[in-house]
Amino acid sequence: MSAPVQELPLWLDVLLCALLVVGAFFALVGSWGLVKLSDFFKRLHGPTKATTLGVGSALIASALYFGWQGSWSAHELLITLFLFLTAPVSAHLLIQAVLANEPKHRPPLPGRKG
Amino acid sequence: MMFFTLLPWAIGLFVVAMLLTTWRLWRGPDLSDRILALDTLYINALALLVLVGVWQGQQFVFEVALLIGLLGFIGTVVLSRFVIKGDIVQ
């Protein structure tokens, strides 16, 4: 591994560490929810929110680090933006896939008793 | 620097997250569970790649990460459409 080019100041170090910890924590919780939860709709909840948040934190930490090193690039921000845009779309498509697959998952219509 | 002592641990946590996702991909009782697991897997792989890139000081991984993001999203959309419609293109 290559040595860091420039020493980070303390505030940036703490900020990057916090982003990294938050990112890894959320990614882990999202995948743990994917394993642990019982129903597909509960399982969908974990990765869509937690993983996007976690990956977003990791990407922003990377952007800040390389920005401080003087080799700033828009790639990380582009990836973050793209993930934030596509995560709801893919979640919606997955829900549609489940509803098309098994109509018993469909919730009852409102206003109809029994 | 704290950041570089913490970075391998974060990478390890992402690897654990990917292993858990792989378990769901293996087990997944339904096809949609597997699609969801694949979706989570590529997003975690993207983050893992970026963190390894920071660790190694390599910046070319970001183009790869962007490609993974694009193709993974297309893959999720295509698989979901295949489950919904039974066909990819009509």
B2-19 pLDDT, tens digit each? 888 889 999 999 999 999
Chain B residue nearest residue A86, CA to CA: B73
Give the ipTM of the model, two decimals please: 0.85
Q: Using the beta-carbon criterion (under 8 Å), do B17 and A89 form an inter-chain contact?
A: no
Residue A38 lies in a domain: yes
For the segment A21-33, the average pLDDT, to the nearest whole number, is: 92
Interface test with B, best of A6, A35, A52, A105 (most B CBs within 10 A): A35
Domain encompassing residue A26: 10-102
Chain B residue nearest residue A52, CA to CA: B43
Q: Tens digits of per-residue pLDDT, B52-74?
A: 999 988 888 889 999 999 999 99
Residue B46 lies in a domain: yes
Considering only A16-30, A97-111, B23-37, which range has the smallest mean pLDDT? A97-111
With beta carbons under 8 A apart, name residues in chain B contacting A1: 55-57
Residue A23 lies in a domain: yes
Residue A60 lies in a domain: yes
Q: Using the beta-carbon criterion (under 8 Å), do B62 and A25 form an inter-chain contact?
A: no
CATH number for the domain harbouring residue A30: 1.10.287
Q: What is the mean pLDDT of chain A?
A: 84
Q: Tally the domains of chain A.
A: 1
Considering just the CA atoms, what is the radius of gyration of chain B in Å? 16
pTM, 2 dp: 0.85
SS (H, E, C) chain B: CHHHHHHHHHHHHHHHHHHHHHHHHHHCCCHHHHHHHHHHHHHHHHHHHHHHHHHHCCCCHHHHHHHHHHHHHHHHHHHHHHHHHCCCCC
Which of A 20-39 lie inside 8 A of B, CB atoms? Answer: 20-21, 23-25, 27-28, 30-32, 34-35
Domain encompassing residue B38: 29-90
Distance (Å, rounded) from C-alpha B24 to C-alpha B69?
A: 21
Interface residue A44 vs chain B (CB under 8 A): yes
Q: Which pLDDT belongs to residue B39?
A: 92
With beta carbons under 8 A apart, name residues in chain B contacting A75: 62-63, 65-66
Identity of the residue in B32, B39, B53 whose CB atom sits nearest the CB atom of A98: B32
SS (H, E, C) A77-90: HHHHHHHHHHHHHH
Chain A residue nearest residue B14, CA to CA: A24
Distance (Å, rounded) from C-alpha B25 to C-alpha B28?
A: 5
| Residue A3 confidence (pLDDT) above 60 | no
| Residue A113 confidence (pLDDT) above 70 | no
Q: Tally the domains of chain B.
A: 1
Q: Which pLDDT belongs to residue A42?
A: 86
Q: Using the beta-carbon criterion (under 8 Å), do B23 and A83 form an inter-chain contact?
A: no
Q: Tens digits of per-residue pLDDT, A60-100?
A: 999 998 888 877 878 888 899 998 999 899 999 998 888 88
Residue A22 lies in a domain: yes
Residue B9 lies in a domain: no
For the segment B41-54, the average pLDDT, to the nearest whole number, is: 92
Contact A90, A44 (CB under 8 A): no
